[in-house]
Amino acid sequence: MTAHDPALPPRPNSAPTIYAYDEYDRAFVRERVAEFRGQVERRLAGALTEEEFRPFRLMNGLYLQLHAYMLRVAIPYGSLTSRQMRQLAYIADKWDKGYGHFTTRQNLQYNWPKLVDVPDILEALADVDMHAIQTSGNCIRNVTADHFAGVAADELEDPRPTAEFLRQWSSAHAEFSFLPRKFKIAVSGAEHDRAAIKIHDIGLRIVKNAQGAIGYEVIVGGGLGRTPFVGKLLREFLPRADLLAFLEAILRVYNRFGRRDNKYKARIKILVHETGLDEIRTQVEAEFAAMDRAPFAYDAQELERVVAAFAPPAYESLPARSDALEKAKAENTEFAAFAAVNVAPHKVPGYAIVTVSLKPIGGIPGDATAAQMRALADAADTYGFGELRVSHEQNIILPHVKQDDLFALWRDLSAAGLATANAGLISDIISCPGLDYCALATARSIPIAQAISERFADLERQRLIGKLGIKISGCINACGHHHIGAIGILGLEKKGVESYQITLGGDPTLSASIGELLGPGVSAEEVPDVIESLVQFYLAERREGEAFIDTWRRLGHKRFKESARREGEDGSGI
């Protein structure tokens, strides 16, 4: 028996609950690293021009940013093990500045890698079955899924096996690596949509038909950017066995007919909008009917293999109510607040889902230091079967924590500066990196998020305000998802001055809607005041149990708009 004997039980720090690469996956990723190493060498030697290099570095997650290269690491469907998290910390220390940035697409970005080091970083990722493949570029991007997958009480089926199938199908796809534009797919298997499937190029919702068979509702043409669209229903029920073939058909139609004359009109949402949903459906169904589906033949054995990889961990049999938890809550109000805000119900009695906020008051949304990544890995090992998730809200999830352990976990998180009790509250802000890092940005985002967070620093007041999503983008490309924030903020540049447009009523869930403009832009300094006045209006008008978005829907945009105008002296500022 050797140390690598597969018969050995998994090490305590390697979670058995997420997909582990087999020899093929592993060899595939190593080959991709070797290929990219060659491309980097040719680039450094001048044998590849930047123009020639660009699509290939993007396909390997490497951006050229304002100050340096940025490497975006894929965390497929947001799931990772403690071992992988420790490796991310190691990479941050060794090749970056000791931190990383978790993104709205469940990825991790390093902001300061050197080009010459990137192949070694990719090699280090491959050591723990990770990669940066297709986190960028005009190809099928890293597939995202519900961050509560497998543990949510409202789940029909864990979306991760589906997402893993998509990861494999889309990796280095020969035909779909030079699409008109990027292509994002999200999967949800629950009643509530936590994966924002309606704002993706394709959104898949796992559903059961009248005969009790599992399949997919297929949504197409959603997206944000400068022309936001809520996705439209392309197919009400797609049998599971047809999934890859059907997606191949959609992608083929898009690759052939998507616009290439204007990058801002190149996403599939524009094709769907300009061609019309019915015509697109006809084209996709015709292609689906004509294609050779043999390569996608339904393989029950393979499905079983992938599903088994996501088998639930060995839960203990516990009472639904934890006396230890109730006692700790009664004794410690700060912990009680954390338990009320950052802890969600788990489908297994006696367990809980914990959201670890990466939004400390006044901090940078989504940033984590290497030390914090290690603290998270340790917490996952000690309390959560060694598994972690990244949410599209830029937080970390510990998906299986015993309620009995919540207090001890909270103390450990507090020691690492990771116990901010603001999940889903006004300071749990989604923000893009903005002008501080990004070459595309027209305004700063992070300082705006920090200023709002500080304005509403009082957590008790935040709880009083309740669930309120603020999302900030530093340019029209909308990486901060401002369109779907209950309050959205878009930073623009007008005559050399930053100007912030505020929108209300955005919603990323199944009731998806795009926010409506409040009025002309305001200065950076004015943003917290405007938010303050909107919040006060809401607090004065809301009915029992009504979240900000509900009050906005009931009263209408006009009322909010009028309230904001009254706040501005002459109405011109807002």
Per CB under 8 A, residues contacting other proteins are 22-25, 27-28, 31-32, 34-35, 38-39, 42, 47-48, 52, 55-56, 138, 168-179, 252, 255-256, 260, 290-292, 295, 299, 301-302, 305
CA distance 355 to 424: 10
Region of 352 on the Ramachandran plot (φ > 0 left; ψ -120 to 50 alpha; else beta): beta
Shortest distance (Å) from residue 199 CB to other proteins:
24
Shortest distance (Å) from residue 290 CB to other proteins:
7
Pick 28 or 216: Cβ nearer other proteins: 28
Pick 213 or 290: Cβ nearer other proteins: 290
Amino acid at 32: R
CA distance 107 to 172: 18
Q: Where are the beta strands (DSSP E) in 432-476?
A: 470-473
CA distance 15 to 383: 12
CB 529 within 8 A of CB 517: no
Shortest distance (Å) from residue 52 CB to other proteins:
5
Token pair of 197, please? 């499937």
Pick 250 or 352: Cβ nearer other proteins: 250
CB 460 within 8 A of CB 422: no
Amino acid at 433: P
Shortest distance (Å) from residue 384 CB to other proteins:
31
**Collapsing DSSP states into helix, strand and coil, what is residue 536?**
helix
Contacts 24+ apart (CB under 8 A), 436-440: 437/65, 437/66, 437/67, 437/70, 437/111, 438/65, 438/66, 438/474, 438/475, 438/479, 439/64, 439/65, 439/66, 440/475, 440/477
Angle of helix 160-170 relative to helix 243-257, nearest 10 degrees? 50
Shortest distance (Å) from residue 295 CB to other proteins:
4
Q: Is the dihedral of CA 164, 188, 486, 78 positive or negative?
A: negative
Pick 110 or 296: Cβ nearer other proteins: 296
> What is each CA distance from 232 to 129, 220, 250, 297, in whole angstroms?
35, 5, 14, 27
Shortest distance (Å) from residue 306 CB to other proteins:
11
Pick 53 or 338: Cβ nearer other proteins: 53
Shortest distance (Å) from residue 45 CB to other proteins:
11
Pick 260 or 565: Cβ nearer other proteins: 260
Shortest distance (Å) from residue 63 CB to other proteins:
16
CA distance 208 to 190: 11
Shortest distance (Å) from residue 275 CB to other proteins:
15
CB 468 within 8 A of CB 508: no
Pick 31 or 279: Cβ nearer other proteins: 31
Region of 276 on the Ramachandran plot (φ > 0 left; ψ -120 to 50 alpha; else beta): left
CB 354 within 8 A of CB 409: yes
Tell me the CB-side half-sphere exposure of residue 124, using CA atoms within 13 A: 19
- Which positions ≥6 away from 560 have C-beta within 8 Å? 504, 518, 534, 537, 552
Pick 52 or 191: Cβ nearer other proteins: 52
Shortest distance (Å) from residue 268 CB to other proteins:
14
- Which positions ≥6 away from 330 have C-beta within 8 Å? 336
Pick 130 or 370: Cβ nearer other proteins: 130
Shortest distance (Å) from residue 133 CB to other proteins:
11
| Angle, alpha carbons 379-384-387 (nearest 5°) | 90
Cα maximum dimension of the chain = 80
Pick 7 or 300: Cβ nearer other proteins: 300
Pick 101 or 265: Cβ nearer other proteins: 265
Pick 65 or 168: Cβ nearer other proteins: 168
CB 490 within 8 A of CB 537: no
Pick 261 or 460: Cβ nearer other proteins: 261
Pick 102 or 176: Cβ nearer other proteins: 176
Shortest distance (Å) from residue 304 CB to other proteins:
12
CA distance 508 to 197: 8
Shortest distance (Å) from residue 181 CB to other proteins:
11
Shortest distance (Å) from residue 305 CB to other proteins:
8
